[in-house]
Amino acid sequence: MRIGPTVVEDIFSRAGAYLEGHFLLSSGKHSPVYLEKFQVLQWPQETERLCAAIVESARGLGVETVAGPTTGGIILAHEVGRQLGVRAVYAERVPDGPGREFRRGFQMRPGERVLVVDDIMSTGGSVQETIDAVRACGAEVVGVGVLVDRSAGQASFDGLPVIALWDVSIQAYRPEECPQCASGVPLIKPGTTPAPMVRA
């Protein structure tokens, strides 16, 4: 089922996933806008709907395995794999080092056709690390699927086809160039703020 970028934007907006502030991105850059994908991924029906759009575009790639980086990529890999009828694996950060690797007994055979999926792509670092981990196993990456490409098409991966449901350009700054840092606005690291207490 194809869905357009305005539908994806609406799903993120209705879920309360579009946040404004001063955020530290996983790339190390700072941004006045953050897309909190877990506000969307907490809803299985919306996750299924978004993944169905990736699946429709990926069906002709002969995918045998879907791989995603921790953490949101686990959920997406599982759902895309379920819809494609293939297995899902995930790549974890290398302890005390750069890059990602497959653990927990995950193995791939030489030439195995793998689709790499992720949630929000800013610089493409997590996706590239997952691609590198797949290739280190001797498997073949046949494409990349993401919910949101906030690089607005700037991230690329050696000519691999990229399926992005929503391309959006959101400003990001190196810390030394960040206007909010210069103004003294406190920096927020997403995922570190506990949920508010709910009293019965």
Tell me which of 82 and 125 has the higher pLDDT: 82
- Is 125 a member of any domain? yes
Q: 191 lies in a domain? A: no
In a domain, 155, yes or no: yes
Question: DSSP label at 188?
Answer: B
Rg (CA), the chain: 17
Q: Is the dihedral of CA 160, 7, 173, 119 positive or negative?
A: negative
The average pLDDT across 82-86 equals 98
Under 8 Å between Cβ of 118 and 124: no
pLDDT in tens, 141-150: 999 999 999 8
Please report the pLDDT score of residue 200 as a whole number. 46
Contacts of 130 by beta carbon, 8 Å cutoff, 6+ apart: 67, 68, 69, 73, 91, 100, 116, 118
- At residue 76, φ and ψ (nearest 5 deg) are -70, -40
Report the C-alpha gap between 120 and 132 in whole angstroms: 18
What b/e readout covers 87-113, taking b as 16+ CB neighbours within 10 angstroms?
A: ebbbbbeeeeeeebbbeeebebeeebb
Q: With a threshold of 0.85, does the pTM exceed it?
A: yes
If pLDDT is split at 50, 70 and 90, which confidence band does 199 have? low
Which domain, by its residues, includes 56?
5-182
- Is residue 29 over pLDDT 70? yes
Helix ranges restricted to H, 3-124: 5-14, 38-41, 44-58, 72-84
Query: Is residue 196, in this structure, part of any structural domain at all?
Result: no
Whether pLDDT at 196 is above 80:
no
Residue holding tokens 């990736």?
Answer: 54
CATH of residue 173's domain is 3.40.50.2020
Task: Tell whether 200 is covered by a domain.
Answer: no
Name the domain count of the chain: 1
Please indicate, yes or no, if residue 199 is contained in any of the structural domains. no
Through-space distance between the first and last CA atoms of the chain, rounded to whole angstroms:
40
